[in-house]
Structure 1
């Protein structure tokens, strides 16, 4: 007879905590100090926010701003709202069920379904890693003149950097990520001030415009923005790393953890929204305004920034932010890969082996594109990687919404009626948009 657990509704007992080497390793103060507790829970949100400002966002945001001005700001805003809801569900799943999303899928679905979900998730992580490689490679070329092909090879070295911080402790990883995010924030603050955007068109752009759906190309870019904003592997990541906090594993302790973790997540994603919106605003205020509506390439954007804005620092800050973005995403991508592999198939590799496997899978297409097609090929790969992420997103969201809406699994923490309806509406919208995207892509309509 199978042992009955406190969290019923799962096929298997969860014997191994997620990321066991750092599980419950960050202390949470026992006293009632609000700010101390909030500080203790601050960190996972930064790691999640990284996925919403990675190099993949740059290509779609630059293309959207250059071609359609501020119109697609509404898509970024809506996508960010979706992200806040979905990340809340992910952290709640991890806290309440003490499982990450991968473990939850393994303990709920039949082995074949779980295996398929794992393969799809690995593809999305490889696609995300591809975006990180391309972003870092382009930044190295812009800052130091390193050729694209050599830059691809250099990106394999970051395995050693990740390992160093991983062994130092989880708080070190969070600190490094926060420092890199601050670097990106400073760079884009400079860029947005230099570009002198118009306030009223920006506010108008946040309001959804029917033209977005009517124009097939703007719709295609919008789906790319959605795929670049709501990252599927982030849902697995958040459900795991929230468990690094040493909160009481009681009903009251879990309520407290959900409260502070949600604040951390929401504030961090609001920061990500600012950076994403800044990229599109800068592109609109410079390229679209100057008539360069065909700019969809990071390299072209860099070349045009200096003469348009009249400052040599514009290009430097642009490239520096791109490098920080790529390296930040590398850190979180490694953790997500480890969580997914351990959670779905219960196989634990050494971190450097796991990282090397993921990076080699992504390096092959990046190297081929850089040799055969050069800069244009790598940029096209960047956009394709975001489309792959967008399509895979449905396969991560449906299980998450299903689990957190199940009273057997969640008990008193089950999604309330409003949250449950909102979550399923978001899921249906994303699924339908991705089906439409797939249909148009197969027919060659872009």
Structure 2
């Protein structure tokens, strides 16, 4: 599929990102990377990482590190795809795989959106219950209404939500790192945990959940769309400028994914100091923190969880738009589209599923959906006709293929150990 050079977007990494409402100036590649990083610290991460730390100590830290490093590679590919072609991953998937292939990939992408919404709604509802004593279903409805308000504002024009999301990201990171500082950390055991070790069936389930919570498939759709240039009539950029933009993308993605990785490791580390019973739910971890470290520390965890739920809702709304615009041929009213995505999540919660278990299983589903997102992304970014000078290096393709194989292997291992 040939891309005309004249249609390539401007990719000058020195230009400021004006989507921040004029509050800050940053390289164009950094802001989308930081926004995508929100997907890596959403409530699903809280559920699986807190459970992992409390039940298995530092044993699964290596899984978090692997997932974070993997995220750097695949988010770079997603950002590069949007930058080089001016189209999102969903748009390319719809064009390259018509017919049944398009329908299957679309269904997979919508399932990802639903599972992501489930994690956002559950996480926000848990936080509201912990902070204000709000009944769980009432909190879930409040988070859902918040997402509908966000969507209504976006429909009326470009909204300046980027600044809000970045502030929420700072709140999340600050709160979680502080939890580590006040926790009793065994530094020697933590360093040893970076080396991969064997997994029993319980740890395997959580490992797959960690991968699904960290390497988020909806973040690939979002990042590819957020990195698209805007055709402003500028002169065509040259070979050197495109390569420079590619290097800037690498730095931005590494920075953003490192920030997200620190948050995820922090969740496991401070949870490892809690009693194993605290891994039963986020509420149990909150109670254990309040008993061991004081109410202020526990409140900071709840604040971080609420910030995570709200920030990921903002990103999730836009991701739903990206998926629908990429795969859909007939436009659907934005509010109707959003309701179709959140109703299944509310139904699942209404059936009485334990909130933290719902979080963990939503991330497991995302892990099983990852190959359907990773494989097309890898095929597109290794296509020189499509990517031009930003085409994958052979080593990049090999590493991305290995990451995909490991993720598929983890999912297969989970199935085998569960039978």
Q: Which among 136, 152, 161 is matched to residue 150 of structure 2?
A: 161
From 330, 340, 349, the equivalent of 1:357 is 340
Counterpart residue number, 1:11: none
- Residues 38-77 of structure 1 correspond to what in structure 2 (within 5 A)? 38-77=26-65
Q: How much has 1:53 moved relative to structure 2?
A: 0.6
Change (3 A) 1:168 1:199: farther
Deviations 1:23-51 (A, max 9, x none): 99x99269xxxxx9853433111211111
**Unpaired segments ≥5 residues, structure 1:** 9-13, 18-22, 31-35
Tell me how far 1:267 sits from its aligned partner: 0.7
189-198 vs 54-63, which deviates more? Answer: 189-198
User: What is residue 384 of structure 1 aligned with on the other side?
Assistant: 361
Cα distance, 1:110–1:164 mapped onto 2, change above 3 Å: closer
Write the distance in 2 (CA, Å) between the matches of 1:399 and 1:251: 27
> Does residue 123 of structure 1 match 2:111?
yes
Distance (whole Å) between structure 2 residues aligned to residue 105 and residue 6 of structure 1:
18
Q: Quick one: distance in 1 between partners of 2:2 and 2:201?
A: 53
- 1:16-415 matches, cutoff 5 A: 28=15, 38-158=26-146, 159-164=148-153, 169=158, 172-209=160-197, 211-212=198-199, 215-243=200-228, 250-252=237-239, 253-287=241-275, 292=276, 295-309=279-293, 311-369=294-352, 373=353, 377-415=354-392
Distance 1:278 1:254 in 2: 36
Distance 1:258 1:284 in 2: 39
Is 1:101–1:400's contact at 8 Å kept on the other side of the alignment?
Answer: yes
Q: Distance in 2 between matches of 1:29 and 1:63?
A: 40
Q: Distance in 1 between matches of 2:417 and 2:59?
A: 22
Report the Cα offset of residue 344 of structure 1. 1.1
- What's the RMSD between the two structures over aligned residues? 2.7
- CA offsets per residue over residues 188-237 of structure 1, 9 Å max, x none? 2321121131222221112222x23xx22212211110111000111111
TM-score (structure 1 length as normaliser): 0.85
Runs ≥4 residues deviating over 4 A: 165-168, 244-249
Give 1:7 deviation, angstroms. Answer: 6.8
Whether the 8 Å CA contact 1:397–1:427 is kept in 2: the answer is yes
What's 2:21 paired with?
A: none
Unpaired runs of 5+ in structure 2? 18-23
1:166/1:282 CA distance change after superposition, 3 Å: farther
Q: Deviations over 1:232-278 (max 9, x none)?
A: 11111111011156786534443333232332222111110111011
Structure 2 residue aligned with 1:33: none
Once residues 175 and 347 of structure 1 are traced to their aligned partners in structure 2, the CA distance between those partners, rounded to angstroms, is: 32
The alignment of Structure 1 onto Structure 2 pairs a total of residues equal to 408
Query: Normalising by the residue count of structure 2, what TM-score does the alignment of the two structures yield?
Result: 0.90
